[in-house]
Structure 1
Amino acid sequence: MISRLQPKLGRLLISEPFLMDPNFKRSVILITEHQEEGTVGFILNHSSTIKLKDIVPELNEADFPVYLGGPVETDTIHFIHRCPELMMDGQEVGKGIFWGGNFETLKVLINNNSIKGEDIKFFIGYSGWSAIQLEMEMKDNTWIASDEFHPDVVFSNHEENLWREVIVNLGPKYAHVSKFPQDPNLN
């Protein structure tokens, strides 16, 4: 596969179909930071069995799913949202999608049932690359960078189909890729 775009804040990184790294197999990653020094993002379609209430005791009613954002610093919690009018902060990463914000404010909003599950997504850990590392992976066609997606994709809870949906959305040139088996030996 040949990527049309380079990584950029707010774009998606979509793994090539035969990437066997278990951390990134059939991954869709939202890029939340991209600078000369490196890139940070969160895997949108790797769910876990953890709920927010399991890791934040003050939120004992918070039944929000927690996703595996990536293999870096898996002892940290991160979130993206699309409710800046409630959070009053966070960094806009594109198309009305915000990364982070004041966690104390977030806890109050969650306990007051002011935030809906379709407007926020939680992650443990993140995905990160040095500038040279991601550049080399892009040259090796490990990733497709795309900004051809609706913001709803980011907050989708249909993680099993998200990779396929995003690939198909790239158009006819890529749609056939969505049908490739996960294991090329099964071809």
Structure 2
Amino acid sequence: MRQKITSKPKAGQLLISEPFLQDENFVRSVVLLCNHDEHGSFGLVLNKLSILKLDELLDEDCLIPLDVYVGGPVEQNTLHFIYRGERLLEDSVALMDNLWWSGDFEKLMLAINNGSLREEDVRFFIGYSGWAEGQLQEELEQQTWILCDTIITENIFDASPEELWKLILKNMGGEYQQMANYPIDPRLN
């Protein structure tokens, strides 16, 4: 059995769903925690690709057909983004070195269109994952989530959605490396 979580979650960490979690919104999910405070938590599922492209969601003609991910089950009529590299948008929130969340969408699209931000350095999400005050801490204590402090930005942007969950666990080593190979249904083990 895993050791109980004693540290508090914070923005910039990853939440890795435990191997046997059956919640259809979070099976084998990797969630980037973007905000955590006394009011609750906000995160984006990094490895759930939607069937939509960005140009299908917005009316503007100049948009490139970029992939869009399902950030979570909450407010799926909202659009969010993260990007890596230098800070391009002054109102972006730093999650860690060279990883940014949110900002002025028009400026972001201008940066993509003029080449100052490469398409592979940005991720778009519909909806988000949210937790009420104390809810995430409770789920961590119930071992629904594995908290990961060490984020390799390349994994977030370059790994396939199907492989990200396993890759993060393998990189964590020890017992987590073994979990990466668990079947979804423990009866199949």
* TM more than 0.5: yes
Q: Is the 8 A contact 1:3 1:144 kept in 2?
A: no
| Contact 2:71 2:129 (C-alpha < 8 Å) held by counterparts | yes
Deviates more, 1:103-112 or 1:162-171: 103-112
> How do 1:162-181 and structure 2 match up within 5 A?
162-181=164-183
Q: Return closer, same or farther for 1:120/1:58 CA change in 2, 3 Å cut-off.
A: same
* CA shift in 2, pair 1:180/1:59, >3 Å: farther
Q: 2:112 aligns with which of 110, 113, 120?
A: 110
State the match for 1:86 in structure 2: 88
Paired residue secondary structure (1:87) = coil
Maintained 8 Å contact 2:42/2:128: yes
One-letter amino acid of the counterpart of residue 96, structure 2? G
Which has more helix, going by share of residues? Answer: 1
Alpha-carbon RMSD across the aligned residues, in angstroms, is 1.7
Contact in 1 for aligned 2:68/2:125 (Cα 8 Å): yes
Deviates more, 1:71-80 or 1:172-181: 172-181
Provide TM-score, normalisation by structure 2. 0.91
Q: 2:29, 2:154 → 1: CA distance?
A: 17
Instruction: Tell me which stretches of 4 or more aligned residues in structure 1 moved more than 4 Å.
Output: none
Distance 2:61 2:115 in 1: 11
Write the letter of the residue equivalent to 2:97: K
CA distance in 1: counterparts of 2:180 and 2:87, whole angstroms:
37
- Measured against aligned partners, the alpha-carbon deviations of 1:2-37 in whole angstroms (never above 9, x if no partner) come to 355431110000000000001000000111001011
Q: Is the 8 A contact 1:3 1:145 kept in 2?
A: no
1:152 counterpart SS class: helix
**Alpha-carbon contact 2:87-2:98 (below 8 Å) kept:** no
Q: Which residue of 2 aligns with 1:63?
A: 65
Q: How big is the shift at 1:61? A: 4.2
Aligned residues: 187
Deviates more, 1:152-161 or 1:23-32: 152-161
Contact residue 3 and residue 143 of structure 1 kept, 8 A = no
